[in-house]
A and B are shown apart, each in its own frame.
Chain A
Amino acid sequence: MANGWSLLIGFLFIVAFSAVSWFASPKGENQTVWRSTLILSAWSCYLMWAITFLAQWHPLISPEKIGLRPEHAERMKF
């Protein structure tokens, strides 16, 4: 479902979002505030998401647990 392409798709989505925010921001004296806030928020959130995604892309360690009970594992299967 989610693999390396997600990063690129997310990137393109944020570019598109930024473009839309730039042009769709309400006119008037607060236009600059709208534009900067929307675009900067989008990029900050993307950066955070991308870093998290990257960190789990090729994980070096796996979760370990002592005292895992069978019913616990069942319930946690989601």
Chain B
Amino acid sequence: MGPPQDTLFRSADMSLTQLYISNEIGREVVSALGELGVMDFRDLNSQVTAFQRTFTQEIRRLDNVERQLRYFHAQMEKAGIPMRSIYEFSNMMAAPTASEIDELADRSQSLENRISSLNESYETLKKREVELTEWRHVLREAGSFFDRARGQTEEIRNSLDDDDAPLLRDVEQHNGDAQGGDRSFSVMNIGFVAGVIPRERIAAFERILWRTLRGNLYMNQKEVPEPIINPETNEGVSKNVFIIFAHGKEIIAKIRKISESLGAELYSVDENSELRRDQIHEVNSRLNDLTNVLSNTKRTLDAELTAIGRSLAAWMVVIKKEKAVYQTLNKFSYDQARKTLIAEAWCPTNSLGLIKSTLQDVNDRAGLSVPTIVNQIKTSKTPPTYVKTNKFTLGFQTIIDAYGTAKYTEVNPGLPTIVTFPFLFAVMFGDFGHGIIMTLAACAMIYWEKPLSRGKLDELFSMAFFGRYIMLMMGIFSMYTGLIYCDMFSKEVPLFKSMWEWPDEINPNKTMVAHRVDGYVYPFGIDWRWHDTGNDLLFSNSYKMKLSIVMGWAHMTFSLCWSLVNARHFKSPIDIWGNFVPGMIFFQSIFGYLVFAIVYKWSVDWPARGQDPPGLLNMLIYMFLQPGHVEEKLYSGQAGLQIVLLLLAVSCVPILLFLKPFYLRHEHNKARALGYRGIGESTRVSALDDEDEEGNTLNGGRDSFADEEDGVALITQDIGEGDEEHEEFEFSEVMIHQVIHTIEFCLNCVSHTASYLRLWALSLAHQQLSIVLWDMTLNIAFGMSGALGVFAMVCLFYLWFLLTVFVLCVMEGTSAMLHSLRLHWVEAMSKHFMGDGVAFQPFSFKILLEEEPVE
């Protein structure tokens, strides 16, 4: 028989294993182990920087491939081409060979070149197209300006001759007289510059020109109607066409310089109208050609990207896995002489067989004669905590892990949490109808588990989806507690005959008191006749308060018992006698007694005795304030018993305080007296069971030993660096720790019991809120009649239903869940949870892909 099966009760047994892997198949072995996902590799090169490690080169290459794949993805997103979903691939898990990876790398390299060259030419063409469009605008605008200006050359001449005349006279003003229109500008030695400039620069442009040329220019501009798209940024820029006339070559050159420095594009325009017409024709035909070429390029690019998109997701997964493999290989140490990789990993002892068979498979496939060796090594290091979960238990375990990682093989509170968490929730949330809604929602999420887990969910919903099984349990228990509370959407659920009857003569104006059916107790839950009575809160408050105390007591006693199980498991009897027993006696003699008194008081028929029932709160208070004095008697001999219990509780405090530290000191002194000294040496880890160091050096020439020696050296070196393990015994430290524990425990017994009263408070609030909601919506509609009544009914029903779901189920549910969470983390887990473990982080492709999903 192997080790016992791993259960949720404790974390799994772990073994530290050492693997000797032949260098040639290192990659395949690690890849196979990644598929298994049960090994947590230790970093044997932690003192080596990331750049000096063995496989940095490979990782860099894969990084490059990954970048290329991301580039394809970005290009596809830009072009709006969908990627084939990762779930459509059938055999994702087939591990690729090294040559396939190489092929993939080469392929993505060539594809990248192709895509980027296509992209480049596309962008050049696009730029060309923009230029031509701009030119066309300039030709058109400038042409119309020339046509208009032709008539006014004479005036321009005049103004040039006359120094005092304003340089620019409004052109429109003198539209009428058009004489000598055929005279060319060149005759007058007037040059011009035409182009386009971004609209926001036009003001600055004008001002600069005006100042530098001292007004010796004539400028005309016009807005281009549609924005011009910049191919590099894909953004539209609105631009203006301008044309500037000036006198003299130097001034023209100056204007050119200024406009270029301001980001304007200049285009040549002929002043002759025929030539201009030819130019426009030419530009148009070139634009046409360009558009054809552009659409061709775009089509090729899209086709290429679509082809890539078909397998891009698979490539991404392959590369991710490959990179993870090399990162893991970097944690191994490499034996130069023997060309072997040495790895160390924690793995569950139960998985060793599976690991060995997997390695054997890999070896066989590679056809290697040298087997991969798996060694279990003995160590004093604390193994990591690994609790195997399934999709049902995962959510509950996450609740526990969120608080802290359990110590290796301590009792895992995740197991009882499966019941206690939803149950305490339900005590606060108890309503049959709300429970049904919650159960249905959880069932729906479980039914559509697969499609939901693949889609993208928003944060709140994905949280609910993650906890769907918790929700299912919460819903079921809420239905149960709802029946116990006899509440369904705040209305009663009359399952059985009531134990109360109204009197036969009924007077609507007087307070009616129900009388009891003799010898009959309502068999299940609270009697429905309490609903809508004047004093139902009086009854239910007393009941729910006591319910909370009893529930809390049961939960805390239950949790405290796990500390006994833990102490037995870790074989430390001092924790039983110094912590568990006095703690338990202390707790039970106060709060166990309170629970006893509650139950006792319930089970006595006080009216039949002709006695007033005593108040339990005062009883508990006077038990401490005036021991031995009982004001209202609950039972005979009460005073004596209370004194005994009080003495028991008080006497437990010094035991709790001193027994453990003094026992530990005694043990320590005994050990020192026997000649043991403080441990200064580092932890010994050895793969050699029966050989000592001396024997090893003697047999140093033997092959097998050199290897193992290497391994041993490595481990000790590694451990020497920073792990604590054996601490010096320090009495004061132990004492302080125990003092804190004692004070905390005793105070917590009181405060935690009181804390369970939240069960009452929350359930009261939930019930009252649902009553108010009913009264404010549906109850109003029931009071109306006729067509208005029908209309109001429909509207108010929707309102009621929406508020029930969102306020009562979602909001109230969240708050009850948080309170239940607190009761577990603080009230229950403080009783036994040690939680100083290290989480097990296996190297697993599955986890890797879950953490960084390929979308």
Contacts and interface: CB of A to CB of B under 8 A. Distances in A.
A67 B508 contact: yes
Most buried by B among A41, A49, A77: A41
B604 A58 contact: yes
A66 B603 contact: no
B423 A41 contact: yes
B494 A65 contact: no
B554 A47 contact: yes
B9 A32 contact: yes
Contact of B550 (A1, A4, A51, A68): A51
Interface string B504-522: 0010111111111001111
B523 A54 contact: no
B224 interface: no
Nearest to B548: A51
B500 interface: yes
Interface stretch (B195-203, B288-296, B354-362, B533-541): B533-541
A44 B608 CA distance: 32
Interface residues of A, number: 43
B499 interface: yes
A78 B427 CA distance: 28
A57 B8 CA distance: 40
Interface string A12-39: 0000000000000000011111001100
Most buried by B among A6, A32, A33: A33
Contacts of B543: 51-52, 55
Given A1-B520, A53-B521, A58-B603, A33 B511 contact: no
Interface in A44-76: 44-45, 47-49, 51-70, 73, 76
Contact of A69 (B392, B494, B506, B551): B506
Interface string B691-732: 000000000000000000000000000000000000000000
A2 interface: yes
Given A32-B415, A44-B423, A56-B526, A65 B511 contact: yes
Contact of A63 (B480, B494, B536, B554): B536
B534 A66 contact: yes
Contacts of A76: 502, 529
B419 A41 contact: yes
Contacts of A60: 606-607, 613
Contact of B606 (A40, A49, A58): A58
6 contacts: A36-B8, A56-B521, A56-B527, A69-B506, A73-B502, A76-B529
Interface of B: 5-9, 388, 390, 392-393, 415-416, 418-420, 423, 427, 477, 480-481, 484, 494, 497-502, 506, 508-516, 519-527, 529-530, 532-536, 538-539, 542-543, 546-547, 550-551, 554, 599, 602-608, 613
Given A29-B5, A32-B7, A73-B506, 8 more contacts: A36-B418, A40-B418, A44-B419, A63-B533, A64-B533, A64-B535, A66-B534, A76-B529
Nearest 10 Cβ contacts at the A-B interface: A2-B523, A32-B7, A40-B419, A54-B602, A63-B533, A58-B605, A73-B502, A55-B543, A63-B514, A44-B423
